[in-house]
Chains A and B, each alone.
Chain A
């Protein structure tokens, strides 16, 4: 197989509301897309690292963090790191915004 860098258009920037999370299924991967109050867009795997799992896209967003909706873990949107006292890390995806199109880079 040839490894390629794929830029996948996933949404229009202006359609994505601030302080909201969207779930997007890219082939088989479930991605949670978030826009912060300042307009930054982040993409994380839509899966909490909590041992019992859970999604992230419906979590409450505060600054550059999302609180996991099921177990209330605080997770950084920037690097996917779970904040103390909990531990873990969510896979993050690189995001590019070009002329109103949000791309996820795989």
Chain B
């Protein structure tokens, strides 16, 4: 076997190895050195981490098991310092020497750091790897003010992330327009206006000349003499190929490591791929061309004849802070070009196609990029556009399956990985694929930036026709401990009659025998949902808040929020709360957003005694369960009220309190459409109208602000209770753990949910199962007060002074 060594463990390099493995020639022993202490992860998603949408585990492309399965020797946290091209071996910074027959350099790039005074101060960073991300997240916890240098894609993503982390952000840009290499001035100014409304502040046409501060950065100085304050500076002005080790070893470099059309460097048996490579004087920074290079290198290195790499024309599909953008080809008009434009300032849509001699030479799309694949194909194939309608539609709706049918097979679906519609359809047919995950795995479509996933999903639906099962198609495994999906887990629990968390992990071969914080709470929930009143809850598989029946605060203290049904209380209860707060020196007494009183900063050992003295039920302010039912005053007192909102609210809260649900559930009841209880942004909202109630569902006032959809209008309170119970139970039975109702409804489709609930028999079944489930719950605070074992295990702090005996 030949020894193949790769320096670098990033996206382009590891993709090359994947391509080699796919060719299945079994001629290599693989060794990979990675400077970072991680397996290969998706760098494109770093901005999602910064923005708080995902965590590190979710962006790992090749987990450590993948390396093991493929017998790849991986050294992480180890950089190569010398390539001895004479004796064909590499030497690491830890003194390890490894010989090679073939060597791939895939060292990627670093952030370009401006060579100005102060660039080495604490608080100055690039935006390139997980370490940079963590540094920014850490800084956001301590400091207020950030400056991002660079108004390109990366800079804007970083700025958006820092805004999410609660910092004030200035974006400093040298040029008069943002993203001037991808956008024309109109699109650029639309983007700027949008980002300003999101809270970014722009300093345009500013050249940074110095970074101010002592040890840590305190601000920036510009060429015009002006200054701005900053506790954190992110440089996002570009990348610099990482070529040092190649250069030191006598390999020919320019801006990057210079390669020919087969990715060969100037030294035999040494190749370069990715952002460190320079091909025909271009260093590519987008993932699509890098993967193309990887594919060609893989064939070449395996001795398979392949066509040479001749460079890439790239169309960039981007999403910046929630705005869809697409850009390809030429941006600026000259005397020979003509533009076709759609400009809808009102809806924030702008599309412009630049043409020359009846062919498309440039595309800029802002706000709606649905036309991008078709237009991009026309651009690359230089199709004659006379008589062709350039923009099919002017509406912004989702593409329908008709669009899928009319797509030609060679149309590009996944720009990052160069996957066409034809390739996806073929994979679905020949390999019998039914889920989005499988399609991604087989074709790579959607594996990088993920923007094409909706379209892949539509192609799957279109190709499978009647056999398409929307819910099953979304299958993904629960967590890294297993490959089992939610659907499979639920089916296995039922089929094999599994009854405990431990048994599930054992029987279904969890690779981590005691699970993790993702799967254990999920399994515990599904078991409780399936076995209804028979299941004994596994308290130690719940996360801290649900385990302790109190919200942990960042300093390790807890909060106590007693139930206050429908936000209605009494003078006697208020007195009790006041007395307890005083007696236990509660640092903060605050009205919560859910119309009740929270006592914050409580020591855990005080919890049982406080609960006992309060003698009120837990408000479950910490649980994946019904939180509160917010009500307005309603017809009892309000002159506008048409219904008795307080009574209905209290009834709902009393019925569904303590119920385990996939995620928290909030309700609101308003007595008239003025909607003082904000029922329109609750998981379930009730609005009183003359002679009945409107029921709204899937509203959300949190991260994904979403107005509720009208589920139905009913006449009586009994109907309200019956529909609500059926709706909640259907959510409990079909949602993924930790999926809010808003996401769940969007996934299932409102019409589907309506259809299910329309059937009387189904509704009765759901109600029965709900009632059976509700039987099992007991009041947890009261239970803790009475049970010494619970008190000792969860609520005791043992104090020991050295020298004394243990108790």
Contact = CB atoms under 8 A, between A and B. Distances in A.
Contact of A58 (B516, B544, B792): B544
A63 B513 contact: yes
Interface string B763-807: 000000000000000000000000000001110111111100110
Interface in A22-70: 22-27, 37, 51-55, 58-63, 67, 69-70
A54 B165 CA distance: 19
A17 interface: yes
B37 interface: yes
Interface in B536-594: 540-541, 543-544, 547-548, 552, 554-556
Given A8-B800, A10-B798, A17-B793, A69 B540 contact: no
Contact of B806 (A6, A11, A72, A74): A11
A54 B797 contact: no
B517 A67 contact: yes
Contacts of B381: none
A101 B543 contact: no
A86 B49 CA distance: 13
B130 A70 contact: no
Interface stretch (B9-17, B134-142, B462-470): B134-142
B556 A84 contact: no
B141 A51 contact: yes
Contacts of A52: 141, 554
Contacts, number: 101
Interface residues of B, number: 38
A83 to B, nearest CB: 10
A91 interface: no
B622 to A, nearest CB: 12
B515 interface: yes
Contacts of A84: 37-38
B520 A62 contact: yes
B540 A61 contact: yes
Given A11-B806, A19-B540, A25 B38 contact: no
Contact of A60 (B56, B540, B796): B540
Interface string A87-106: 10000000000000100001
A20 B799 CA distance: 18
A67 B548 contact: no
Contacts of B517: 60, 62, 67, 72
Contacts of A15: 792
B512 A63 contact: yes
B615 interface: no
A25 B806 contact: no
B802 A24 contact: no
A25 B800 contact: yes
B148 to A, nearest CB: 21
B37 A101 contact: no
B514 interface: yes
Interface in B509-541: 512-517, 520, 540-541
A23 to B, nearest CB: 5
B806 A101 contact: yes
B771 to A, nearest CB: 32
A40 to B, nearest CB: 13
Contacts of B797: 23-25
Contacts of B541: 60
A60 B802 contact: no
Nearest to A17: B793
Given A24-B797, A54-B556, A62 B802 contact: no
Contacts of A20: 540, 793
Nearest 3 Cβ contacts at the A-B interface: A69-B544, A9-B806, A55-B556
Interface of B: 37-38, 56, 130, 134, 138, 141-142, 512-517, 520, 540-541, 543-544, 547-548, 552, 554-556, 604, 792-794, 796-802, 805-806
9 contacts: A8-B800, A11-B798, A27-B801, A53-B554, A58-B544, A61-B514, A62-B520, A85-B38, A85-B134
Given A25-B798, A53-B554, A53-B555, 18 more contacts: A8-B802, A22-B793, A22-B798, A54-B554, A58-B548, A58-B604, A59-B544, A60-B543, A61-B514, A61-B540, A62-B520, A63-B513, A69-B544, A70-B554, A84-B37, A85-B37, A85-B38, A86-B134
